[in-house]
Chain A
Amino acid sequence: MNIKFRQETFRHDFTARNSPENIKRFPFPFHEDKYMYSVNMEPHVPAGPKGYAFENMIDVDEHYVAEMQDRALVLKEDPLRCQALPHMMQAQWDTLELLMEHQAANYPDHFSLTKNGDQWHWINRPMNIDQKFTFGDASTLPYEPMEYITRQSQGDFCIVDQRDGQLWMDAGMVTTQADWSLDFDIGMNFMEWHGPVPLAHQLGVFDRALKFLLNLQQGKPVRRLNWTMTINPRLDTSPENYPKWAQDRLTVTPENVGNKVHLRCELQSLWRLPRSNAILFVIRCYLIKMEELVTVPKWARRFHRVLRDLPPELVDYKGLTRFRPMTVEWLSKFDDGAPTSSGIFPD
């Protein structure tokens, strides 16, 4: 598979957009016409039409190169976005192995990995990287292993340690997040880092999710979809930079809704790591403009209904208050009231 990587930006002039082919592979997060939190996990196995975001388990798409450039800019401004507690080194190597193997196996035109014992040779053609190193010896790489490979992999990454019947957020590379701080949350357990999420605790969602994840097995990753909305195709909606992006919410007008307002979907996948018994938590962010979304009639109808009927606590928590009415109004033009088919895929 030869991907044509786009030259685009996720800041300042915001030139990022999706090609018509990329729109059809968007992981649309609503399987019905309404939304509430749930433990919506399923096996992370190939699904959907050919070329869909679920085709390969570590997905690489046309935004790869531009996203990696944006990550480098974030890290230059704020190195605290990538941190690992000292006991996580083995899990860092597990992570490097997993991401290199998947990218090389599924995108051989772009990546290759050759192993001779612990002597590894990694080639990343889109980023023009050719690296020989000793697996297990961090001094043979220009960064620690997690930082090295996640500077070359789309999505945010958290490595979660398992002990005392709990999961602990003990390492991460987080530059494309929906308003949470790795620097603040690192070292917290599963309940603590989800502390600010409304309603879901009372629904028992986190108790069930934790119980499920503590039993996650190697070779059987799982996924779930999560979502929010973002003004402009901005990947770095961190709390650290909130004063820089919050004002975007006031720039939405009835004329620019289609271009400015984005549905932000997180394809979250969870992987048991073989040596450390930690869990790799991948939070891959996909952005789609309203005017792109409505080119799929089913998604236009459904998202109109979901957004219109969203519980007020979620509107507030997801930061949609300012621009939701205008967006619902804009989307209503694309909703003729016809029934929608179940499931997330386009008709």
Chain B
Amino acid sequence: MLVKGIKSRPVYTGLGIDPYARRHIFTIEGEGVEAVLDQVKTNGSAFLATSEFLCVGTATRLEALKPHDLWTAPTIPILLYRLRAMLQNAKMGLRVYISGTEGFIGQVMQVAIECGIDFNSIRTEHRGSEARRVQCVHCKGITDDVKTSPFICTHCGLSLLVRDHYSRRIAAFQGVCIDAEEPGTAPAPELMFP
């Protein structure tokens, strides 16, 4: 079923504050707040003076740290819209950090890459749900927050097996029809990504 260890599957190595960066932009979703608090615990709070936070979800515990700037977006697309504008005017010495669910990390990274930032330079930490963003390889529609495999494509209705194969460009895992050989024989969805 799910073949593990596929090389395209992203690895999130942690936020790791860059001491040489002149400006830090943090994009934080939900439980991603914890990743920042852990950094403060281990590295101290000096970096906060040059840090700007773009958050989705409750960020009161970050506000309490009084960073240089903090803004809360009501939804992910609104965060991405502001981030794009910020990165288009960005200068050398900027470091981007992302923490939250995989779907969130992928979408932020997509914007950063489009703005010319090398994906290897972006610091990422996965926090929160393991739910996935999945592209249907057949109709190309993307379904967010997929917790089971198989799942029903919200666009074309096929029952899709979620693979570990991942595209940074699309910011999604690949979903492939599970009962194509014998339509109607799809197994029951199994909770795979809680």
Contact = CB atoms under 8 A, between A and B. Distances in A.
Interface of A: 80, 181, 183-188, 191-196, 198, 201, 239-243, 246-247, 249-250, 322
Contacts of B182: 247, 250
A181 B7 contact: no
B148 interface: no
Interface of B: 3, 5-9, 135, 137-138, 140, 158, 163-170, 174, 176-177, 180-183
Given A184-B135, A196-B6, 20 more contacts: A80-B140, A181-B174, A183-B140, A184-B137, A184-B167, A188-B8, A188-B167, A188-B168, A192-B166, A195-B7, A196-B3, A201-B7, A239-B138, A240-B138, A241-B138, A242-B137, A242-B138, A243-B177, A243-B183, A247-B182
Nearest to B176: A239
16 contacts: A181-B137, A183-B140, A184-B170, A185-B167, A186-B169, A188-B8, A188-B167, A188-B169, A191-B7, A194-B7, A195-B7, A198-B3, A241-B138, A247-B183, A250-B181, A250-B182
A182 to B, nearest CB: 11
A184 B181 contact: no
B7 A242 contact: no
Contacts of A193: 8
B180 A243 contact: yes
B138 A243 contact: yes
A171 to B, nearest CB: 13
Contacts, number: 70
Contacts of B183: 243, 247
A198 B5 CA distance: 10
The secondary structure that dominates the B interface is: loop
A322 B181 CA distance: 10
B181 A247 contact: yes
A242 B160 CA distance: 12
B87 to A, nearest CB: 18
A249 B174 contact: no
B8 A187 contact: no
Given A195-B165, A240-B138, A184 B177 contact: no
B181 A240 contact: no
A196 B163 contact: yes
B3 A242 contact: no
B180 A242 contact: yes
B6 A184 contact: no
A246 B168 contact: no
Contacts of A322: 181
A188 B166 CA distance: 9
A219 B170 CA distance: 35
Q: Which 5 A-B pairs have the closest CB atoms?
A: A246-B180, A195-B8, A192-B8, A195-B7, A195-B6
A242 B177 contact: yes
A239 B160 CA distance: 12
Contacts of B135: 184
A184 B180 contact: no
A195 B177 contact: no
Nearest to B167: A184
Contacts of B180: 242-243, 246-247
A150 to B, nearest CB: 21
Given A242-B176, A242-B177, A187 B137 contact: no
Nearest to B137: A239
A241 to B, nearest CB: 8
A187 B165 contact: no
Nearest to A241: B138
Contacts of B165: 184, 195-196
A243 B158 CA distance: 9
A44 to B, nearest CB: 27
